[in-house]
């Protein structure tokens, strides 16, 4: 059994380790993984979703042992699946967990999801569809994820459909090198919230990015179960639209209303900061290269030197 020691754990790294272990059918211990989830209790519903899906599909058993996570995988075959997430979980995270295993099967898989499509604990489904999957195509990994209905954290009720095709690994060049990134547009999604807040968000974004106000769209989502506010910035980076996003935290995992104006502006400021770093310094948020790294390695592509010291690269080196 391999041991993955995460001195400063992050959920993304725990999920990458679990997903690669499932693909390789390699038992792993993730040191300090469960302690991290206990301290970040909003992750517990998501972790329980993954445990349940692994059990119900016969893909193995995930358990906790003190501060650690133990995973004894049996593997996941291709097929047609229907998964429902907790209303405090994330469809995007379940998809990311399943992808490596379903890519490396003989036939296509189709997955229908219900639950949370937009969550502050993960990426919106549109990020996977329009950004991540565009990068993965260059490595010979093809998937789709189509949003059918918005479902926000705390209410669920959303739906999406994915198709994952057998991998055709191929080497690619440097995916993270591009010239003249520029903001193409911004979309502000609101569900059952005061639309004046969307106007203030638009004003804040225009003021702090210099984008023409006509490129900032406010979209009211009528067909949604609960409250939601999601902001997406579309930045053209070569052939790919990189979506930077933030979902406002309106509820915590206990169902308590936690929305505060101070936290609201902190969230917006973080999005503006990431946007400026990408446009002015051509610096992608670290999460995107780390999500792509396993597929670069599996395709035999050259790994840029700056990413060889990342936590994700270390995990991939241990398991792949």
> What's the whole-number average pLDDT of the chain?
96
Total Cβ atoms within 10 A of residue 75:
15
pLDDT band at residue 9, thresholds of 50, 70 and 90? Answer: confident
pLDDT reading at 41 higher than 90: yes
pLDDT digits (tens, 9 = 90+) for 254-271: 899 898 877 889 999 999
Q: Please compute the mean of the pLDDT values over residues 50-66 and round it to a whole number.
A: 97
pLDDT digits (tens, 9 = 90+) for 205-231: 999 999 999 999 999 999 998 899 999
Output the pLDDT for position 261: 77
Q: E-strand spans in 240-293?
A: 240-247
- Percent residues over pLDDT 70 in the chain: 100
C-alpha of 252 from chain center: 19
Output the pLDDT for position 69: 98
DSSP 196: H
pLDDT reading at 8 higher than 90: no
Q: Could you tell me which of 167, 162, 107 has the C-alpha nearest to residue 136?
A: 167
pLDDT digits (tens, 9 = 90+) for 123-151: 999 999 999 999 999 999 999 999 999 99
pLDDT band at residue 239, thresholds of 50, 70 and 90? Answer: confident
Q: Could you tell me which of 2, 66, 61, 60 has the C-alpha nearest to residue 36?
A: 66
CB 118 within 8 A of CB 124: yes
pLDDT band at residue 42, thresholds of 50, 70 and 90? Answer: very high
Q: E-strand spans in the chain?
A: 2-5, 28-31, 60-65, 68-73, 80-84, 109-115, 143-149, 158-164, 182-191, 216-220, 228-237, 240-247
Q: b or e along 278-305 (b: 16 or more beta carbons within 10 Å of the residue's beta carbon)?
A: bbeeeebeebbbbbbbbbbbbbebeeee
CB 1 within 8 A of CB 299: no
Mapping DSSP to helix (H, G, I), strand (E, B) and coil, where does residue 16 land?
helix
Q: Please compute the mean of the pLDDT values over residues 176-190 and round it to a whole number.
A: 94
Please give the torsion angle defined by the CA atoms of residues 296, 118, 16 and 268, in that order, rounded to the nearest 10 degrees: 80
For Cα atoms 230, 231, 232, give the angle at the middle one, nearest 5 degrees: 120
How far are the Cα atoms of 161, 229, 267 from residue 262, in angstroms, in the given order?
36, 15, 9
**Largest separation between any pair of C-alpha atoms in the chain:** 56
Structure tokens that stand for 295 in this block: 């597929």
Rounded to an integer, what distance in angstroms lies between the CA atom of residue 28 and that of residue 62? Answer: 10
CB 96 within 8 A of CB 15: yes
């Amino acid at each position: 059994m391999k041991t993955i020691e995460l001195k400063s754990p992050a959920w993304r790294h725990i999920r990458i380790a679990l997903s690669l272990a499932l693909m390789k059918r390699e038992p792993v211990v993730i040191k300090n993984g469960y302690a991290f989830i206990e301290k970040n209790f909003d992750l517990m519903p998501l972790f329980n979703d993954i445990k349940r899906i692994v059990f119900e599909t016969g893909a193995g058993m995930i358990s906790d042992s003190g501060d650690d996570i133990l995973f004894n995988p049996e593997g996941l075959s291709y097929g047609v699946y229907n998964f429902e997430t907790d209303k405090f979980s994330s469809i995007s995270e379940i998809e990311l967990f399943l992808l490596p295993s379903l890519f490396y099967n003989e036939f296509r898989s189709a997955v229908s999801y219900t639950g949370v499509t937009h969550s502050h604990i993960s990426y919106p489904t549109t990020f996977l569809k329009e950004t991540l999957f565009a990068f993965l195509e260059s490595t010979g990994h093809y998937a789709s994820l189509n949003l059918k209905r918005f479902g926000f954290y705390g209410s669920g009720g959303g739906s999406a459909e994915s198709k994952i095709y057998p991998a055709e690994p191929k080497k690619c060049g440097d995916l993270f090198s591009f010239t003249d990134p520029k903001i193409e547009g911004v979309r502000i999604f609101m569900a059952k919230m005061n639309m004046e807040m969307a106007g203030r968000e638009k004003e804040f974004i225009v003021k702090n990015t210099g984008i023409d106000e006509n490129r900032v769209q406010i979209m009211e989502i009528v067909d949604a179960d609960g409250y939601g506010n999601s902001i997406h910035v579309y930045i053209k980076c070569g052939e790919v639209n990189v979506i930077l996003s933030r979902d406002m935290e309106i509820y915590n995992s206990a169902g308590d209303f936690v929305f505060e104006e101070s936290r609201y502006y902190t969230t917006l400021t973080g999005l503006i900061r990431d946007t400026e770093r990408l446009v002015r310094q051509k610096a992608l948020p670290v999460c995107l290269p780390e999500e792509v790294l396993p597929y670069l390695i599996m395709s035999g592509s050259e790994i840029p030197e700056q990413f060889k010291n990342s936590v994700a690269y270390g995990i991939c080196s241990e398991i792949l």
